[in-house]
Structure 1
């Protein structure tokens, strides 16, 4: 299918947790403590997508009853964009940077969300990317196309970097995503002297380990934050929604660049997360994205926290 330009709707991610913290509506966040690490989940707005962007490859006769059960329209998706901020010792870390000002007219409220926590771009010491799709990467630059986080160190999976920086990708990715490749190459190229690479299993900083979750993009990574027996898995988009991805993780999704690999990844990860009862933060999961994976009789379910 041809994917139209994605749009964000700001102000749709206000959470009760954020209200309790005194944050303005639309900038609300959740807090998670892992040992002495403080994690805040803040909003970069909401996507508005045609349902077919995800649902077109799926068996429609089986799909529609599941969507009805979850109260999800088959025509329009409005998932939140949940950005994770971690503060640990001298480090202030962002996992992904939102969409910035160039992806759609209503996108890019991350800076306002950080400001509500008294965090400025100059405070960010490290940025780790799950992958390089626009709503995770394009917030790298400001309105003047200058790097927004001038003192940050950057980290990305080596396979993800190699894919997007390959000059052939723009011709091979397909017309609907060609702008993704152009935008990724331009932005990543501007920080190539400040970026470090990691692979599956690497500890990218104290308490944070990389987990290969390929399929949504060729080098997609989840990041596990752990202190002793406490852990949270920052999913990025390897589990991309809280309805069909849980109910039928084995189904191919139109949002994934390699749908078959992504489905295999989801099944394996869901099984682990449900078995270990690891807390998760999902970039596009409902509310603030914080919760657990629960095994059901015929699939899995997202159990939101709070």
Structure 2
């Protein structure tokens, strides 16, 4: 296989190139009043298990992974973007991986096409955070904006972190390419983007919730119509097995593992207590489901659609 320079710069070296089978382009949907919340596939990632779980208690970890039929050596998490269709807006949450991250990902345009949509139809793109599988799809192979007519929106703290020239030197070697890639893309789209803070109603019926830890400025978004709501969770809850059964454990994919665990426990408790549906970026079955209590922990119950 010929090695593409851009894949190496993704930060996972040969692991990204092993390119396991691309996930089926799953679609999930939930009607929320007059709006429709749709989960669209961007494909999947291929990552070593130790990237997530290094240093965790091996015995209990193995039991959890076995219960969920998760391989011990390699994970292939799906990538589920959220599309919100409102009467006069088509809002996309995150932009996917694009062509430059992993060969198993970057399938968003095919998913949009299956919805009868072109990138020009998207009115808003709202970012949970600026990791490659959420941001890099904002540019095409020629570094031109994929959504030229859309209003782009990002939390102020997340923007500040990734545009800080010191980030590349403080984020650690494993993620240095993330910082370089984010800064380059954000510079291209700077004229299109606006910013918000925690607790802001960024669009009608869409409330921003700060969920830091995975990245310093990570945001989730509560889409609400009356008593019904869906939380666009991004990577605040990163999988449907260890994150639910042991949310208190450090998660290697989080940049601040301690803060990530605190945020995860708080968010899981809120979603279960308030019966808010969750659309998680890396959760199975299209990412849409409910958080249910299970003893002292939780379980993910995919939405029956």
Moved more, 150-159 or 65-74: 65-74
Q: What TM-score comes out, normalization by structure 1 length?
A: 0.93
Q: Residue 139 of structure 1 aligns to a residue in which SS?
A: helix
Within a 5 Å distance, the mapping from 1:241-260 to structure 2 comes to 241-260=239-258
Give the corresponding residue for 1:187.
Answer: 185
Consecutive unaligned residues in structure 1, runs of 5 or more: 13-25
Tell me the distance in 2 between the aligned counterparts of 1:242 and 1:284: 8
From 226, 229, 245, the equivalent of 1:228 is 226
From 36, 39, 43, the equivalent of 2:37 is 39
Q: Residue 45 of structure 2 aligns to a residue in which SS?
A: strand
Within a 5 Å distance, the mapping from 1:271-286 to structure 2 comes to 271-286=269-284
Give the corresponding residue for 1:176.
Answer: 174
Whether the 8 Å contact between 1:9 and 1:107 is mirrored in structure 2 is no
Q: Residue 160 of structure 1 aligns to a residue in which SS?
A: helix
**Cα pair distance change 1:131/1:6, threshold 3 Å:** farther
Consecutive unaligned residues in structure 2, runs of 5 or more: 1-10
Whether the 8 Å contact between 1:102 and 1:138 is mirrored in structure 2 is yes
Give the corresponding residue for 1:156.
Answer: 154
Give the corresponding residue for 1:238.
Answer: 236
Deviations 1:203-228 (A, max 9, x none): 00000000000000000000010011
Could you tell me how far 1:9 is from its partner in structure 2? 4.8
Within a 5 Å distance, the mapping from 1:3-152 to structure 2 comes to 3-4=12-13, 6=16, 9=20, 11-12=22-23, 26-152=24-150
Whether the 8 Å contact between 1:27 and 1:116 is mirrored in structure 2 is no
Tell me the distance in 1 between the aligned counterparts of 2:139 and 2:20: 20
Could you tell me how far 1:59 is from its partner in structure 2? 1.6
Could you tell me how far 1:61 is from its partner in structure 2? 2.4
Tell me the distance in 1 between the aligned counterparts of 2:25 and 2:46: 18
- How many aligned positions are there? 292
